[in-house]
Amino acid sequence: MMGAVATLQALVAEGVDTIFGYPGGAIIPIYDALYDFKDSLNHVLVRHEQGGIHAAQGYARSSGRVGVALATSGPGATNLVTGLADALIDSTPLVCITGQVFAHLLGTDAFQETDIINITTPVTKWNYQVTRAEEIPEALAKAFYIARSGRPGPVLVDITKNAQMQTFEAPAYAPCTHIRSYRPAPMVRKEYIAQAAALINSAKRPFILWGQGVVLGRAEREFREFVEKSGIPAAWTILGVGALATGHPLNVGMLGMHGNYGPNVLTNECDVLIAIGMRFDDRVTGRLDKYAKQAQVVHLDIDPTEIDKNVKTTVPVWGDCKETLPLLTALVERREHTAWLARFNDYAAQEVDAVIREELFPASEELTMGEVMQQLNEITGGEAVIVSDVGQHQMVACRYARQNQSRSHVTSGGLGTMGFALPAAIGAKFGAPHRPVVAVIGDGGFQMTIQELGTIMQTGVDVKIIILNNQFLGMVRQWQELFHQRRYSFVDIQSPDFVAVAAGYRIAGQRVGDRAELRPALEKMLAHPGSFLLEVMVTKENNIFPMVPQGCSVAEIRLR
Amino acid sequence: MSPEPADRQEYNITAYTENQVGLLNRIAIIFSRRKINIESLNVSPSEIEGIHRFNIVIVETEEVVEKLAKQIEKQVEVLKVYFNTNADVIWQEMALYKVPTDVIAEKVLVERLLRENGARAVVIRKDYTVFETTGHREETDNLIRALQPYGLIEFVRSARIAIIKASDGFHRKLQEFERREPSEEVAENEFLNDREQVFTM
Ligand SMILES: Cc1ncc(C[n+]2csc(CCOP(=O)(O)OP(=O)(O)O)c2C)c(N)n1
């Protein structure tokens, strides 16, 4: 069997149905083999490898499966770097396969040779260069196992052209289930579960912070049971969104720089902080030396390096939260923290008065980003997969999107990669074909990967695109306004006629600027068979509040 | 610049790893990314066939070292990482000194000096002689200073190697790992580490 065929057989054996890629000289043998795999592998031809890897990320995030991206050597491979970095920090399981020059040319500065293994070492969970066909099945088996197990992450397998073309006696494909030096999940220590439960049971003002670990561990049910039995208010990080429905009475909102008022302020008042599958990112904690100093901390995480990394824990609960949460739930007392929960609701009411009402139901003429999300919520009822890009609109989308179920919000959390949303939305639709997928993107970010409209055109994938156009690189402008004396240095960005551009790609579209047009346009977009681009002209200089200014404590969150 | 925290001291990090191309780089960037300088690094086979042992020396606080150790252990091909202060290990460095032979032959003083420092001649040629000493940094340093006036031509010192006083090797630990998550039926990839015949430049 040829190495190239073995590569594709491995993908099929791993249950892959869709791959995102772009061909080139060093990966032609695999593309040649792909010609015969049309029935089992759906290959999506993207317009740029960055689009390919973001699409694979969107696929992985919406489906919970491993995303696969294919690229050629040299420039193809280096175009994956941003997506790898993004996937690593957001723990997204990916297998990227890159072509490489012939093994005998390695290190000779051959045409389109780059040392992609060394380039991608800091941005992969694992990577490996294959130089002989015999290595392929086992290298890929390892790659899939590493990508999806433990704390998931991106891996890259670089395959030299000779290895793709070589024929060999291929054994039956054996998935990998164990690597001697790799312990994906630490052993659960029962004594820590007991200590954690005792601490939680003794708490007067306990507070749960949850992150994507709950989603990655597929522990949404276990998590809800823990929250409901313990009666503890729970707030989410940007990637944890949806693991507990936004409408749940114990879901008190979003944490962090642009999170909700109550969860931020009360972080510094709780007595026991229970962090589940989250990593105390600086966008969540603000100033660390003023972060929850009064609290005893219980931290549940599968990755031992996260424990004590930023915040010192009182009780570390190592392990997969799918396993640890039920053990903990069994030991915690059924409680209601009525007075404590009421304090969150008080803050929520203050936030509505100061910020939210005006955002969602503005009195001014001009449209706000918030009301677009509000209208969208009303139409979709919280059932759509929202894919957001990076900037002000992202914070608005995360703050206001209603989400009834997990895996409903795909966004670039840790890296904050502009240009993420359009390709990720394409991938998200392939990953969740029966759900509506709505991308919410800024005028700046959209232009970073605008070429993927071509992918939509060619595949006919159904993605609804909302561009929230404030004619600025809005988030940067906000910082310049607040912290740099309104010196608007290179943030006023011109855009093409987006609707006309979409039309050029045979994608339907509309632009709205008046309130009266918004609702009908959203309804039309969602009812439209196939992709649709809706450009909404919104207030130019709107700021996202609340905000924890850089270098401040979470309790110093500003309402305006 | 912030002042040096008083509790910074030399730590010896010991990592047991698979013998894998590129792993050195993966480990090294854990330090460089945090702008931590590696004082000394030695990689060699361990007491178990196929498992390599890294000895890395850095000057840091215990808190930092602990985090680094976890990050290293997190790498897929790393089996186990320990870290110890100098008091907890037995450590040695080796030094080679090249000196003109005529000076050695003529000067009695030099001979005494070498003997006092426990130096051993490794090579004696007409033009130069190479001596070796092994010991802690101050010991090997002493001899350089002493030899300098006699025309020390060249000097080299090895990375540090260290044995942990309280450890009983890695054999048992490895067995423990395998008991917990046995790998019996899973064939380790015989090709993954076997890379000769590839480079035909
Ligand atoms: C690739 C990349 N480059 C630069 C940035 C810095 N950045 C963060 S938000 C932002 C502005 C985004 O503007 P736009 O897409 O119009 O969205 P808005 O904030 O206006 O909603 C920029 C430039 C980034 N996050 N990613």
Nearest CA to ligand 1 atom 8: A391
Q: Of B29, B76, B195, which has the smallest distance from its Cβ to A126's Cβ?
A: B76
| HSE-up (13 A, CA, CB side) for residue A429 | 21
> Is A481 a catalytic site residue?
no
Instruction: Answer yes or no: do B74 and A304 touch at CB < 8 A.
Output: yes
Among A108, A144, A181, A188, the residue to mutate for chain B (most B Cβ within 10 A)? A181
Q: Does A304 touch chain B (CB under 8 A)?
A: yes
Give the pLDDT score at B190: 44
Q: Of A117, A181, A303, which has the smallest distance from its Cβ to B76's Cβ?
A: A181
Q: Of B67, B76, B180, which has the smallest distance from its Cβ to A179's Cβ?
A: B76
Give the pLDDT score at B179: 75
Q: Which DSSP string corresponds to B71-83? A: HHHHSTTEEEEEE
Q: Give residues with Cβ within 8 angstroms of B190, minimum separation 6.
A: none
Instruction: Answer yes or no: do B18 and A180 touch at CB < 8 A.
Output: yes
Instruction: Answer yes or no: do B70 and A305 touch at CB < 8 A.
Output: yes
Token code pair at residue A202: 């003794």
Average pLDDT over every residue of A310-325: 97
Indicate whether B199 pLDDT > 50. no
pLDDT level of residue B193 (50, 70, 90 thresholds): very low
Average pLDDT over every residue of A84-106: 98
Return the exposure string of B100-133: e unless at least 16 CB atoms fall within 10 Å of the residue's CB, then b. ebebbeeeeebeebbeebebeeeeeeeebbbbeb
> Is A418 a catalytic site residue?
no
pTM of this structure:
0.95
Q: Of B25, B67, B77, which has the smallest distance from its Cβ to A121's Cβ?
A: B25
Chain B residue numbers with beta carbons less than 8 Å from the beta carbon of A108 are: 201
Q: What mean pLDDT value characterizes chain B?
A: 87
Q: Does B1 touch chain A (CB under 8 A)?
A: no
Ligand 1 contacts (CB < 6 A) are: A 389-393, 416-419, 442-445, 468, 470, 472-476
> Is A168 a catalytic site residue?
no
Separation CA A164–CA A130 (nearest Å): 9
Separation CA B128–CA B130 (nearest Å): 7
Chain B residue numbers with beta carbons less than 8 Å from the beta carbon of A100 are: none
pLDDT level of residue B184 (50, 70, 90 thresholds): very low
Instruction: Answer yes or no: do A121 and B22 touch at CB < 8 A.
Output: yes
Catalytic residue among A448, A475, A525, A547: A475
Give the pLDDT score at B201: 34
Indicate whether B189 pLDDT > 70. no
Q: Of B29, B180, B186, which has the smallest distance from its Cβ to A121's Cβ?
A: B29
Indicate whether A153 pLDDT > 80. yes
Per residue in B160-175, pLDDT tens?
A: 999 999 988 888 888 8
Return the exposure string of B33-56: e unless at least 16 CB atoms fall within 10 Å of the residue's CB, then b. eeeeeeebbebeebeeeebbbbbb
Indicate whether B195 pLDDT > 50. no
Give the pLDDT score at B38: 97
Per residue in A7-41, pLDDT tens?
A: 999 999 999 999 999 999 999 999 999 999 999 99
Chain A residue numbers with beta carbons less than 8 Å from the beta carbon of B178 are: 180
Chain A residue numbers with beta carbons less than 8 Å from the beta carbon of B200 are: 104
Q: Does A516 touch chain B (CB under 8 A)?
A: no
State the pairing for strand pair B9-18/B78-85.
antiparallel
Per residue in A380-411, pLDDT tens?
A: 999 999 999 999 999 999 999 999 999 999 99
| Cα Rg of chain B, angstroms | 21
Chain A residue numbers with beta carbons less than 8 Å from the beta carbon of B21 are: 129
pLDDT level of residue B176 (50, 70, 90 thresholds): confident
Instruction: Answer yes or no: do B189 and A125 touch at CB < 8 A.
Output: no
Per residue in A192-231, pLDDT tens?
A: 999 999 999 999 999 999 999 999 999 999 999 999 999 9
The one-letter code for the residue type at B131 is F
Residue B56 · residue B15 · CB < 8 Å: yes
Chain A residue numbers with beta carbons less than 8 Å from the beta carbon of B181 are: 178, 183
Cα A331 to chain center, whole Å? 32
Indicate whether B185 pLDDT > 50. no
- Predicted complex ipTM: 0.93
Residue given tokens 């312990």 in the structure block? A183
Strand pairing partners for A120? Answer: none
Give the pLDDT score at B4: 64
Average pLDDT over every residue of A520-532: 98
Token code pair at residue B190: 């015989």
Q: Of A135, A146, A183, which has the smallest distance from its Cβ to B192's Cβ?
A: A135
Polymer length in residues for chain B:
201
Mutate to test the pocket of ligand 1, among A50, A415, A447, A473 (most ligand atoms within 8 A of CB): A473
Give the pLDDT score at B2: 53
Catalytic residue among A2, A100, A142, A161: A161
Among B31, B68, B178, B189, the residue to mutate for chain A (most A Cβ within 10 A)? B189
Instruction: Return the beta strands (E) in A361-442 as ranges.
Output: 385-388, 409-411, 437-442
Q: Which of residues 91-110 of A touch B (CB under 8 A)?
A: 103-104, 106-108
Instruction: Answer yes or no: do B195 and A305 touch at CB < 8 A.
Output: no
Q: Which DSSP string corresponds to A288-299? A: GGGSSTT-EEEE
Q: How far is B173 from chain A (nearest CA, A)?
A: 12
Instruction: Answer yes or no: do A182 and B74 touch at CB < 8 A.
Output: no
Q: Taking CA atoms, what residue in B is nearest to A143?
A: B76
Q: Does A134 touch chain B (CB under 8 A)?
A: yes
Residue A505 · residue A454 · CB < 8 Å: yes
State the pairing for strand pair A385-388/A409-411.
parallel
Q: Does B74 touch chain A (CB under 8 A)?
A: yes
Give the pLDDT score at B181: 61
Per residue in B11-27, pLDDT tens?
A: 999 999 999 999 999 99
Give the A:B interface size as CB pairs under 8 Å: 79
Separation CA B142–CA B137 (nearest Å): 9
Chain B residue numbers with beta carbons less than 8 Å from the beta carbon of A304 are: 70, 73-74
Average pLDDT over every residue of B83-100: 96
Per residue in A464-488, pLDDT tens?
A: 999 999 999 999 999 999 999 999 9
> Is A361 a catalytic site residue?
no
Average pLDDT over every residue of A450-462: 98
Percent of chain A with pLDDT over 90: 100
Give the pLDDT score at B186: 35
More confident residue, B111 or A226: A226
Separation of A15 CA from ligand 1 center, angstroms?
36
Instruction: Answer yes or no: do B191 and A187 touch at CB < 8 A.
Output: no
Indicate whether B200 pLDDT > 50. no
> Is A374 a catalytic site residue?
no
Instruction: Answer yes or no: do B189 and A138 touch at CB < 8 A.
Output: yes
Token code pair at residue A264: 């931020």
Q: Taking CA atoms, what residue in A is nearest to B179?
A: A180
Indicate whether B194 pLDDT > 80. no
Nearest CA to ligand 1 atom 11: A473
Residue given tokens 């991608």 in the structure block? A120
